[in-house]
Each structure stands twice: as structure tokens, then as C-alpha cells.
Structure 1
Amino acid sequence: MKFTLSFYNVAMTVLSIIFSLFFTAMAIIMSSSDNDFIEFLEETKTFTELLWSFKITLLFLFMSLILSIILYSGTSYWLESYNEDSWLQNKTLLLILEFLFLYGMFATWFCIMDTIKFSKYRSIYLSKKK
């Protein structure tokens, strides 16, 4: 139980930082592009793919964050209120959070790579525009 509590705490901390930074980065990317550039990206459906990957990643990060908060709160309450050995959590809860956490981390990495592609497309667009 103490291990799961510490894992939930780490997951909650890491996910809250990454979620806020990821959301900010997504907002900056969406606001920095003009209509002509979006039309240029939509010729190959790149902008739609970029938005889709950001939406899915944001969803998984949010679900992981909410789940880690719920599990941390419930486990902490139980350990403070009752005997430590009186209840053991099902490992499935820990595994679900681990899956969502790892998926969110890898999806964030892939979105960062998509952002780099976005920057490359921006330079291609600007060179064609000149």
C-alpha cells in the first residue's frame, strides 16, 4: 500500500506538470499559425493529423491525472483512517494507472516529434511563399 501511495504521488506530480506544459504548448502552436499555412498543411492532411495526436494525448494525460488523484486520495485516506494491513488494493488499479501514465508519456514524446515536423513544414511554407 505504501508503494502504491508513493507511485500515485509521483504520477500525480509528473502528470500535472506535463499536462499543463503540454496544454500550453498546444495553445501556442494553434495560435501561431495563420490561415494560409493551415491550408498548406491541409493539402496533405497534416494539420488534421497534428490536431488528432494532440487531442488523444491530452485526453490520456487528463485521464491519468484524474485517476492518479482519485487513487492517491483514496489510498491516503485508507492508510490514515484504518490499519495498514486491513486492505490491499487490487493490482489492476495500479496497472491501469501505469498503462495510462506510460501511454501519456510516450504520446507526449510523439507529439513533441510532431511539433518538430510542424516547424519543418513552417520553414518549407515560408520558403515557398518567398
Structure 2
Amino acid sequence: MRDFECVRCGNCCRWPGCVKVSGSEIDAIAAFLEMDESEFIERYTALMPDRQGLTLVEKPDGSCIFLEEDEEGGSRCRIHPVKPFQCGTFPQKWNFPGWELECAGAKRVKRNTGDRQ
């Protein structure tokens, strides 16, 4: 996937699952949102299932709490400048089963490379 380029379709943000956040990421996101770290933790995080850290909470449909939809059907990340490392390294460092079928960037690479990946 060296030719992969995110087209900001938001599909990876709609997939349910944990987005682990570190202490420094919490500090950066809270500052970006102009809120206290403890308020951010209470409002936007939950304990990971393995109890080894915090994850961003999801909306009822499983999408990221910070994914915003616009009136034209597009989407954007409300915290893009300070998004977690996990988000910024998709799909090279982490992904999920079937992500290639959901990701508009992967589909574009597939078309441009004639199925080479």
C-alpha cells in the first residue's frame, strides 16, 4: 500500500472498534477542543475491553464520536490536526478485516495499479 493516499472518505471512522488514546494524545485533543483533560476523559473516552488503556467512545451506530457529516454527504474529522496515532497510520500500521472494500483510497489505488498491492 505504498501508493495509498487517504481521500478522507471517512469510512474507516464509521467502522466500530477501539481507537486507543495515549496520555499525550488525550492532552493534545483536550487542548485542541479547549477543555480540561479530565472533562475530555469523562465525556469522550471509555476503558478498553482489556482494561489496558482508554479508547474514544463511539456514536450509537459505531462510528467515531469525532466524525462529522456535512449536508453534501461528505465527512470530516473534528480533531483531524490532533487525531490519534492509530487513525493517522491507517491502513499501513493498523486496519480491520475487509477494510479494502470500505476504503475509497484503497479502491483508488487498486484501480490505478491494476490490482497490484
TM bracket (short chain): under 0.3
More strand by share: 2
Q: Could you state the TM-score of these two structures normalised by the residue count of structure 1?
A: 0.25
Relative contact order higher in (CA < 8 Å, ≥ 6 apart):
1
Where is the helix percentage greater, Structure 1 or Structure 2? Answer: 1
TM-score, normalised via structure 2 length: 0.26
Largest Rg, 1 or 2: 1
